Structure 1
Amino acid sequence: MEPDSTLTPHRNTRARIALTIGDPAGIGPELVQALLDDDALARDVQLVVVGPEDLKPEGLGFWQGPDSPDSTTHLWCPTPGSGRVTMGSAQADCGRTALAALRCGADMAQAGHVAALVTAPVCKEALHLAGEEVEGQTELLGRWAAAKQCEMVAVAGNLRVMLLSRHLSLAAALKEVRRTTIVERLRLLDSTLRAEGIPAPRLAVAGLNPHAGEGGLFGSEETEEIAPAVAEARARGISVHGPISPDRVFLEGARGQWDGILALYHDQGFIPLKLLSEGRGVTLLAGLPYRRLSPVHGTAFDIAGSGRADPTNLRIAVQMAASGGLGSHQAQEEGPSDTLEGVDCDSLSST
């Protein structure tokens, strides 16, 4: 007798997402608990929370590997360390606990045991106290995955911003504004957005100086480094425009005129993104062999343990991780305005 083709093995129809607890002295654990209590989220997502066992809610099942059942609840993957700590300060033990959870979550994602990794915030000072002197999770995850490039793409609605440099002093960041580095970042941003479901990304590069240099009147970086990099990227088949005055390009991105923007230093990109995101921004790591997202906020030691932390940001990160691509979050498909086509940097002043 032939088997009934309508009967198929039961499979997990929800997206399985690894979620690390972050620094246990920060707001990560209470945000994670809020997501575990979210019945609406549980309909679409099965969380595998990665962190110390003493933070596991009673009744939550343990992760037993990729064959763990599609239960009605989420799962917990215990890692070394303790969540019973003094709240609101950087501590070496908390750094070690956060590192253990992050490494476990990264291994799960790289092995393909989960659809994506979402990470609650860690404290860089605590990581340093634990002996891991890195800028943050980006560098750690890139190193563990042996990634050739690993860069942040911050996302808030239509606005998607990659940074040319991350946690550097402004003086050091300005030295990174070089043609070769800009071209490398544009290639990574283009390929990342394509992999995320945006088939023909429209990119823009922010200027460095007021009014994008005003044709060399306010600095030479636009004419000597940025514009040549844009020309080279175009020659490589990347649809990119710029340099565009930084006081307008991010608003254009938020309105959907650009699929991705390259910001030239950390605060140039994150100030407008956080202002426009209204607490809903997330970061995606480009260059990893798996998808990793996180909220844009930090550990918020000042309110940790008070119950006042808002889980919206982390919830959106999980939902975006479960969606499988940023392309599904595009709100509009309008192209850049005609006035931007072929415009040189000296005509891009706004005031």
Structure 2
Amino acid sequence: MKHIAPLAITMGDASGIGPEIVAKTLARGGERAIVFGSRVVMEDIVRHLGLELAVRSIATPSQARLADKTIELIETTQIAVPPPLGMVSSISGRAAFDTIVAAVAAAKAGAVSGIVTAPINKEAMAGAGIGYPGHTEILADYGGAERVAMMLANNDIRTVLVTIHASLRNAIEQADFDAQMAAIRLAHEGGQALGIASPRVAVAGLNPHAGEGGLFGDEEIRIIGPAVEAARSEGIDASGPWPGDTVYMQARMGRFDIVVAQYHDQGLIPVKYLGLEEGVNITLGLPFVRTSPDHGTAFDIAGQGIADPASLQTAMAYARRLVTARTRASELERTV
């Protein structure tokens, strides 16, 4: 296999636990990754935690030595003084956004093999005048993807969202036939990227009991069911619509590989209930790999030195797995 470029890790919101879990992860050693963010912030958290880590600034990923006990850092934002921990800061919001944009540019250029993002705060970005509701939308715009989807995964279940960061009222309107088809196709592709040759994709209904034959709503009859049939005609092993209150139990028992959820909380509550330590967010549809931990900025514990880096470390493991799969698939295509 050809040489694989290192991963990029964005430091996330500087007022939250992002820099801490990034530093703790790199302190373990053995990670081929470059941090995108603020040298001032990363040096401050290293001192605060008492870690034996040096912070080395580089201009491009190709300059990285990837030595243990060293944070190789590309400065993407100029912060003179570390922003206050544990509270919303427009400085942190702007820095987080600039860092994501820089990492995306590096990924599109092939300078890094993928991106692992530490948590950001939507309120902080809004305070900085940035109108994106989250990572996914930034990545789609700057990554040049027409349609993306979130896949949340842990050891028990995987789920892909039809709609992402939208009010429930708007999500119902957005969950049209085209959105269903895009999510089902991306779920199929995402399962294959994780090594499942023919993923069994279960599509959750929107209404209680999947509409109960139209008694509790007809979206399942008008939209979701026809999308499932259309996906099956494309060779995708899709089924449904299934009641949202039982489909995850069936997936956990091994009946399905991936569940397509209609809206944010329908998909995320089951994953997060099983624990944040092993939960990973994977963005499907991008021209590069992107993963992130399945938790937020945790302002309530920022700066206390107790943040658990396990979910970030799992996100990095998933990123390496996906990058390797993409590389092998690309090499196979060139030999055919």
TM-score relative to the length of structure 1: 0.83
Equivalent position of 2:190 in the other structure: 192
Amino-acid identity (%): 38
**SS of residue paired to 1:247:** coil
Is 1:19 aligned with 2:17? no
Deviation at 1:70, TM superposition (A): 4.0
Give CA-to-partner distance per residue, 1:259-299, whole Å, 9 cap, x none: 22110111000111101234321111111110000011111
Distance 1:298 1:326, change over 3 A: farther
Moved more, 284-293 or 95-104: 95-104
Contact 1:120 1:295 in 2 (8 A): yes
Is 1:62 aligned with 2:57? yes
| Aligned equivalent of 1:47, options 33, 37, 52 | 33
Q: Where does structure 1 differ by over 3 angstroms across 4 or more consecutive aligned residues?
A: 11-15
Contact 1:118 1:292 in 2 (8 A): yes
Give, in whole Å, the separation in 1 of the partners of 2:171 and 2:64.
48
One-letter identity of the residue aligned with 2:56: G
Is 1:314 aligned with 2:304? no
Give CA-to-partner distance per residue, 1:8-35, whole Å, 9 cap, x none: xxx9988721111101011111111111
Equivalent position of 2:330 in the other structure: none
Give CA-to-partner distance per residue, 1:82-131, whole Å, 9 cap, x none: 26111122221111111121111111222112221000011111111111
Distance 1:95 1:292, change over 3 A: same
Deviation at 1:198, TM superposition (A): 2.4
Give CA-to-partner distance per residue, 1:238-279, whole Å, 9 cap, x none: 110101111221122233322221101110001111012343
Deviation at 1:325, TM superposition (A): 6.0
Equivalent position of 2:116 in the other structure: 118
One-letter identity of the residue aligned with 1:130: A
Contact 1:198 1:326 in 2 (8 A): no
Equivalent position of 2:72 in the other structure: 75
Give, in whole Å, the separation in 1 of the partners of 2:4 and 2:182.
36
Deviation at 1:37, TM superposition (A): 1.3
Distance 1:64 1:177, change over 3 A: closer
One-letter identity of the residue aligned with 2:36: V
**SS of residue paired to 1:241:** strand
Equivalent position of 2:46 in the other structure: none
Give, in whole Å, the separation in 2 of the partners of 1:227 and 1:86.
50
Is 1:30 aligned with 2:45? no
Equivalent position of 1:4 in the other structure: none
| Aligned equivalent of 1:138, options 133, 136, 139 | 136
Distance 1:220 1:108, change over 3 A: same
One-letter identity of the residue aligned with 1:302: D
What's the C-alpha RMSD, in Å, of the aligned pairs? 2.3
Equivalent position of 1:337 in the other structure: none
| Aligned pairs (5 A) from 1:240-279 | 240-279=238-277
Whichever of the two has the greater Rg, that structure is 1
**SS of residue paired to 1:230:** helix
Question: Which structure 1 segments of 5+ residues have no match?
Answer: 1-10, 328-351
Give, in whole Å, the separation in 1 of the partners of 2:146 and 2:2.
33
One-letter identity of the residue aligned with 2:76: T
One-letter identity of the residue aligned with 1:127: M
One-letter identity of the residue aligned with 2:40: D
Higher helix share: 2
Contact 2:194 2:321 in 1 (8 A): no
Contact 2:4 2:113 in 1 (8 A): no
Distance 1:143 1:105, change over 3 A: same
Is 1:295 aligned with 2:319? no
TM-score relative to the length of structure 2: 0.86
Is 1:161 aligned with 2:159? yes
